[in-house]
């Protein structure tokens, strides 16, 4: 009797875990393909700069975080009892959001540093 109950409990969790693995795997695969294509673009320029690379990275990470959050919200609002899938989508929304903060912060710092050095050069030319 106890073995039967355990098997039923495991069978109830299988779709939840399977959905969590499938959704997380698809999101990771999409991000890997994106970075592979960005690497190909940089390889084609022989290591030079690729115009708009940071914008595309910010867009991809933002869309990835938003889609994960929307999927997680949809899973919680659907009434389906899928706690593992909901939790995995929350984590998958958090990771691209953190990467987005790092990429945008680095880009903002670079722009600020460039602005400061240009203003310093202008000030020195006026003297």
pLDDT-derived band at 8, boundaries 50, 70, 90? low
pTM of this prediction exceeds 0.75? no
Assess whether pLDDT exceeds 70 at residue 1.
no
Taking only the tens place, the pLDDT of each residue in 62-100 is: 888 888 888 887 777 777 677 888 888 888 888 888 888
Residue-level pLDDT at 36: 94
Residue-level pLDDT at 33: 92
Residue-level pLDDT at 37: 92
Residue-level pLDDT at 63: 85
Rg (CA), the chain: 22
Three-state secondary structure of the chain: CHHHHHHHHHHHHHHHHHHHHHHHHHHHHHHHHHHHHHHHHHHHCCCCCCCCHHHHHHHHHHHHHHHHHHHHHHHHHCCCCCHHHHHHHHHHHHHHHHHHHHHHHHHHHHHHHHHHHHHHHHHHHHC
Taking only the tens place, the pLDDT of each residue in 35-72 is: 899 889 988 888 788 888 888 888 888 888 888 888 88
């Amino acid at each position: 009797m106890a073995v039967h109950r355990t098997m039923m409990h495991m069978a109830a969790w299988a779709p939840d875990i399977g959905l969590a693995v499938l959704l997380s795997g698809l999101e990771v695969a999409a991000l890997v393909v994106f970075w592979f294509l960005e690497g190909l673009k940089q390889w084609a320029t022989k290591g030079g700069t690729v115009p708009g690379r940071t914008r595309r990275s910010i867009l991809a990470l933002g869309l990835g975080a938003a889609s994960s959050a929307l999927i997680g919200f949809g899973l919680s609002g659907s009434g389906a009892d899928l706690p593992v899938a909901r939790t995995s989508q929350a984590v998958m929304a958090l990771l691209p959001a953190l990467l987005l903060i790092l990429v945008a912060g680095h880009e903002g710092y670079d722009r600020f540093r460039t602005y400061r050095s240009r203003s310093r050069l202008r000030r020195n030319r006026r003297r």
